[in-house]
Structure 1
Amino acid sequence: MYKAILFDLDNTLLDYDFSERDAMQRAVEHHRLPEIANFEWDSFRSVFAPINWTYWIERVQRNLTIGDVLYHSFRDTLEQLGHDYRISSTLAKTYWELFCASCHPMEGANELLGKLHGRYRMGIISNGIGEAQRGRLKTGALDHYFDHLFISDEVGYYKPQREIFDTAVRTLGVDHTEVLFVGDSLQDDYHGAAGAGIDFCYYNPLAKRLDESFMPAYMIHSLSELIQMDVQNQWIKRVPLT
């Protein structure tokens, strides 16, 4: 019987991809970049994505702040496309403000949290940035559902490190066997939960085929399935791994 449910945030409860794209497009339009000769939104996005990902995954090793990551990402993108990159600092600031104030829940997230609230201790484990994760949850009036947020840049550990999961379990005052963790990443979420001895529910909306080496306790294709699994606080059925 579970006493606590922990969730990943991005692309599990909140649509990170939509928020990121929307905030960037609004920032680009705010600074009138589409008026620049030869500026193409699709090209900008396609060049930005790998540059930003590289800075993001290297941020801890290189001791970069989120401001550094965004500034360098926008600067390198504009420079690679042959545009004036002196706007990079203000563009990054505008984007970040817009992103932190955005909230686009995944389908079924609001109903799910409403159903589970008060019946389980609930928390978030996220590799994101505290300012953004807290701001987005507050914007969407979702923050009150959670007893605690465990965000990597605040607690000093990152999924799949066991320490961030142990910190969550200890703070919630439950045993590892009394916790279910729900997430969409096999690399960070599955391995992290498995390493901490916590049951994992794989949120797999695209119905990706699982390699036999992955054995989550549950797999769901929609968040509404979690409601179906919750019967008077008894988790009595396993979702077929198909």
Structure 2
Amino acid sequence: MTYKYLIFDLDDTLFDFKGGEMAGLENVFMNHGFSSDLTQKAMAIYVEINRGLWAAFEKGEIEKSEIHETRFDRVLAQLGLSGDGLSFEKDYRQELNHNYRLLKGAESLLKDLQTAGYHLIAGTNGEAQTQHLRLEHTGLRPYFEQVYISDEIGVAKPNKVFFDIIFGENPAMSQTNTLMIGDGVASDMLGGQNAGLDTMWVNFKDLPTPSSIQPTYTVASYAALREVLI
């Protein structure tokens, strides 16, 4: 298969979102007076609650605002504590906005793909301000011809409409010359599948392949990705 267009997810595909998320959460809870042990417990609870909320959003079951308005309140409630969850959220947003971590080798990968003649497009769920800041401060923005963020276009992966918008603005793109690349099974792989695209699952953590979704390619490293595309 000859591809010309590559749609890249950002978080945990190119950005080290998880690493920055954990560091940011630790700072937030510690700054709000949590002990070290309580901070670790709160972080674990947050991860589970946040994952569930984002999964509900991606399925269209809740509005995105519910994620930001309730996740820290739910953490505090589960810990049996009172507090202003929105204050935690505000502080956490500042942490995320300054998370400029990249996965090792991400920029050189994009440079090689660009040199090889691919058209690179960023297609990501998330907050517009946060994602734009990351792209600018990590130096990745120049590699992407276009950037599509769910917060700006009003629909999130895996909804087919997310991809319809991208294709609508790029007449030369087709289902056969475009590849969706990302780490998210329920967002990137299912989204690409919904749009009729070949997909590449960036599986750095060696997770088992889900039975319900079969990516066209599965790669465990950027080196393996290069082998497929270059």
TM-score by length of 2: 0.85
What residue identity is the alignment partner of 2:39?
A: W
SS in structure 1 of the partner of residue 35 of structure 2: helix
Change over 3 Å in CA distance of 1:188–1:42 after alignment to 2: same
RMSD between superposed Cα atoms in Å? 2.4
Aligned 8 A contact 1:204 1:221 in 2: yes
Q: Distance in 2 between matches of 1:17 and 1:89?
A: 21
Gaps of 5+ in 2: none
- Report the identity percentage: 26
Give 1:133-212 correspondences, 5 Å limit.
133-173=131-171, 174-210=173-209
Change (3 A) 1:179 1:24: same
- Take 1:162 and 1:73, find their aligned partners in 2: how far apart are those partners? 27
Per the alignment, in what secondary structure is the counterpart of residue 122 of structure 1?
A: strand
Does residue 1:18 correspond to 2:16, yes or no? no
The residue aligned with 1:117 is: 114
Pick the structure with greater CA Rg: 1
Change (3 A) 1:213 1:115: same
User: How big is each residue's C-alpha offset from its partner over 1:128-172, in whole Å with a ceiling of 9 and x where there is no partner?
Assistant: 222222222222121221111222222122222212112223323
Q: Structure 2: how far apart are the matches of 1:219 and 1:61?
A: 29
Deviating 4+ runs (over 4 angstroms): 57-62, 211-214
CA distance in 2, matches of 1:74, 1:93: 10
Moved more, 106-115 or 167-176: 167-176
Q: How many Å separate the matches in 2 of 1:101 and 1:211?
A: 33
Look up the SS of the partner of 1:95 in the other structure.
helix
**Structure 1 stretch displaced more, 171-180 or 210-219:** 210-219
- Does the Cα contact within 8 Å between 1:24 and 1:95 map onto a contact in 2? yes
Q: Name the CA distance, whole Å, in 2 between partners of 1:101 and 1:227.
A: 29
Would you say 1:82 and 2:72 are equivalent positions?
no
Unmatched runs of 5 consecutive residues or more in structure 1: 232-242
Query: Cα deviation per residue 1:189-235 (whole Å; 9 max; x = unaligned)?
Result: 2222122221111211233333566443222110122223334xxxx
- Structure 2: distance between partners of 1:213 and 1:31: 41
**What residue number does 2:89 align with?**
92
Partners of 1:186 and 1:64 lie apart in 2 by 19
Q: CA deviation at 1:11?
A: 1.5
Tell me how far apart the structure 2 counterparts of residues 94 and 49 of structure 1 sit (CA, whole Å).
17
Q: For residues 154 and 43 of structure 1, do their structure 2 counterparts lie closer, same or farther at Cα, with a shift above 3 Å needed?
A: same
Deviates more, 1:53-62 or 1:133-142: 53-62
Q: Does the residue aligned with 2:11 lie in a helix, a strand or coil?
A: coil
Distance 1:3 1:64, change over 3 A: closer
Answer yes or no: is the 8 Å Cα contact 1:169–1:179 preserved in 2. Answer: no
Q: Number of aligned pairs?
A: 225
TM-score (norm 1): 0.81
**How many Å separate the matches in 1 of 2:18 and 2:165?**
28
Q: Structure 1 residues 160 and 80 mapped into 2: Cα distance closer, same or farther (>3 Å)?
A: closer
